[in-house]
Amino acid sequence: MTPTDYVLDGQQRLTVIYSCLGAPETESGFSVAYDLESQEFIRYGDSPKVHQFPLRRMFHTTKLLNFRTALQTLSEATKYQERLDSIIEAFTDYRLPVVTLKDLTVEEVCPIFERINSSGTRLSTYDLMVAATWNRDFDLNDEVAEVLDALRPKGFADIERATVLKCLSAVQLGTIKEEALKTLRDSTKVDMRLLIDKTKQALLRTVDLLSTEFKIHGWDFLSYEALVVILCHIYSNSSHLSQDQVQRVRQWFWRASFGERYKVGGENFVSRDLKTVYEYVINAQGSPDDFGKPPSEKEWLSITFRSNVSRSRAFILALATRHPRNLTNGQVIDPTIALSSYNKKQFHHIYPRAHLKRNEPQVEENLVINICMLSAAANNAISDSNPRQYLPTLAIKHGEQAEFIFSSNLLPSPSSFNYSEATYEQFLVSRAEVVVEHIGKLCNGHTC
């Protein structure tokens, strides 16, 4: 076992040290022995050999001496005892810098720790909560891990642990402001477990809605963290939403995503929106326009495609609502594959980038409205083909189905748009019109 076998954070390192050296010998957990023959650290098994020293006996004098005495039954007792003395000396003589802090809060201690710890690790609010609530019967890290495991089948196991903490605060306190969030550490372990279970159930309903209504099958395609936190807050108070309420969720979701509502504002803005969005969704108070407006046709002509930008993600989700067909063969594209992770091979530049760079190097080829869904194999097949040739060819190939297939990809109708002669700029203008119409329907709460 070498130091590179495991990559651990600060809290995990302390847990391992305690389990190896400080835990009672009968306690479960990670237990290590030092093999005096091979001079290696090994996992302490159920049937240890006489020359394998369990580190949990290191600071128990009687057990240590009994182990050392037992070595005398072996033929190489002297060598083993010398090696045992050396390993004990290495641990017991190791000098640790100790700073004793009295009558200080966790918030006062943490900046001091950050200044003296060797790796420069900064403690987040989540780290503070884990440290402040930990005891032998309750570990927030373990509790959050159970929540993540519950979300795994829905593709949301990679949700940030800090996001789960914000959800806990939103459910319990109706805010995610840091100063309020930290008050959760005053809760009893019973109250915390009840809160975690309530939040887990609300999160499960949240990801169910995200997958069914918005075709989101992975954390990477969520425009903003705030969307999950706010939906979790809503579902913690209302376990079931009516059709009208779900329609208002759609209005808020699409407008917030395309209007970049949560791009700035931070925890204060999101905390206010917990109540604002709840009142709108549940009690129909307010107007959908309160949550933003989608880009205009002119704006779409300059919005570039970036995987970490909300409008790009929202656009892909908007494409998914059309149940797109593969341009090359007309087969349905499975959104659970295309949207399970940000696989760029599942997205295609309709006017291929290589083609544009070769023929029109002055234009911006990586625009959002130059993107459609396409399987990796079909993407490779089209490669850098001339769109004036491959698009008309596909339209003829599909015959009566061409209109339906092109429409499912939010592409201009091949019967009214001349792909064989159109310029790239003409295509963008025409597609922007199609995109704006579709997104307008989504922002008004319609399903398409």
Q: What phi and psi, each to the nearest 5 degrees, are found at residue 413? A: -60, 130
Distance CA 170, CA 163 (A): 10
CA 244 to chain centre: 29
Q: Which two tokens stand for residue 189?
A: 């372990």
pLDDT for res 266: 87
pLDDT for res 395: 96
Q: 364 vs 12, 32, 316, CA distance in Å? A: 47, 59, 19
pLDDT for res 411: 98
Go through the chain and tell me how many residues it has.
448
CB neighbours of residue 233 within 10 Å: 29
Distance CA 229, CA 159 (A): 11
pLDDT for res 265: 77
Q: What is the dihedral of CA 373, 374, 375, 379, to 10 degrees?
A: -140
Per domain, the residue ranges of the chain are: 3-92, 133-291, 297-443
Whether 374 contacts 406, CB under 8 Å: no
pLDDT for res 5: 44
pLDDT for res 141: 85
CA angle 339, 341, 345 (to 5 degrees): 80
pLDDT for res 101: 66
- Amino acid at the residue 374: L
Query: Residue-wise pLDDT tens for the chain (448 aa)?
Result: 443 444 455 556 667 787 888 888 888 778 899 999 999 999 887 788 999 999 999 888 899 899 999 999 999 999 999 999 999 998 888 877 676 767 666 566 656 555 555 555 566 777 767 776 666 677 888 889 999 999 988 888 888 899 999 999 999 999 999 888 888 888 888 999 999 999 999 999 999 999 999 988 888 888 899 999 999 999 999 989 999 999 999 999 999 999 999 998 789 999 999 999 999 999 999 999 999 999 999 999 999 998 888 999 999 999 999 999 999 999 998 876 666 555 555 788 999 999 999 999 999 999 999 999 888 788 888 989 999 999 999 999 999 999 999 999 999 999 999 999 999 999 999 999 999 999 999 999 998 7
Distance CA 156, CA 168 (A): 17
Q: Which two tokens stand for residue 330?
A: 């007309």
pLDDT for res 155: 81
Whether 445 contacts 305, CB under 8 Å: no
Q: Which residues contact 338 (CB under 8 A, 6 or more apart)?
A: 320, 346, 347, 373
Q: Which residues contact 305 (CB under 8 A, 6 or more apart)?
A: 312, 315, 347, 366, 367, 368, 370, 371
- Amino acid at the residue 219: W
